[in-house]
Amino acid sequence: MALVTPGGCARLSVAPTVHVRHRMTTFATLSPPRDETVDWVKATNSFFDRDSRPIMLFDGVCNLCNGGVRFVRDNDRNRRIRYEALQSEAGSKLLRRSGRAPDDISSVVLVEKDRSYIKSEAVLKIMEYIDLPFPRLAFFLHFVPLFVRDFVYDNVANNRYTIFGRSESCEVYYD
């Protein structure tokens, strides 16, 4: 209860203490925080132990992406690139290795032992691995600023299902 005094100040009177028993119901418990920081580079090094070739991660249900994989495979006579769908367990782990969310299927990713490439950088790096004339074309495309290349890449990637469609299942590619 508050009383106002002539000076404009409030005077507070305190009620006597009443002891009330409260019944507590536990709805959920919190686990103690776990220190689960995973070094995804170390966790995925086994992908490069026996085979040092880079791995191209692609959207396995995207018709454009599957066509891109077939194109790369057909123009890679020396089999310098391996393939893995972004939706696979290995793809998810390699995405984390690349610093991306494990369910991010917004971009093609090229994973090398020491580095990863995304978007237009991945496309140009893949072009460097396949047969002529694509490495030379990649050289010249590097002169186009990254923000322009990625702008074009993003516009195609964001509309790939609308323009090219999607399949019900992921195609499997063997190297």
pLDDT tens digit string along 141-162? 999 999 999 999 999 999 999 9
Confidence of residue 169 (pLDDT cuts 50, 70, 90): confident
pLDDT of residue 93 exceeding 80: yes
Which residue did the predictor score with more confidence, 145 or 4?
A: 145
CB 83, CB 69: distance < 8 Å: yes
Q: What is the pLDDT of residue 175?
A: 54
Paired sense of beta strands 55-58 and 82-85, if any: parallel
Beta carbons within 8 Å of 106's beta carbon, 6+ residues apart: 157
Q: d(Cα 20, Cα 157) in Å, to the nearest integer?
A: 62
pTM over 0.85? The answer is no
pLDDT of residue 78 exceeding 70: yes
Confidence of residue 36 (pLDDT cuts 50, 70, 90): low
pLDDT of residue 6 exceeding 70: no
40-164 adopts what CATH topology? Glutaredoxin (3.40.30)
Q: d(Cα 120, Cα 41) in Å, to the nearest integer?
A: 23
Work out the average pLDDT over 30-56: 80
* Amino acid occupying residue 141: L
Q: d(Cα 91, Cα 5) in Å, to the nearest integer?
A: 73
Confidence of residue 59 (pLDDT cuts 50, 70, 90): very high
Q: d(Cα 128, Cα 140) in Å, to the nearest integer?
A: 11
Work out the average pLDDT over 105-124: 94
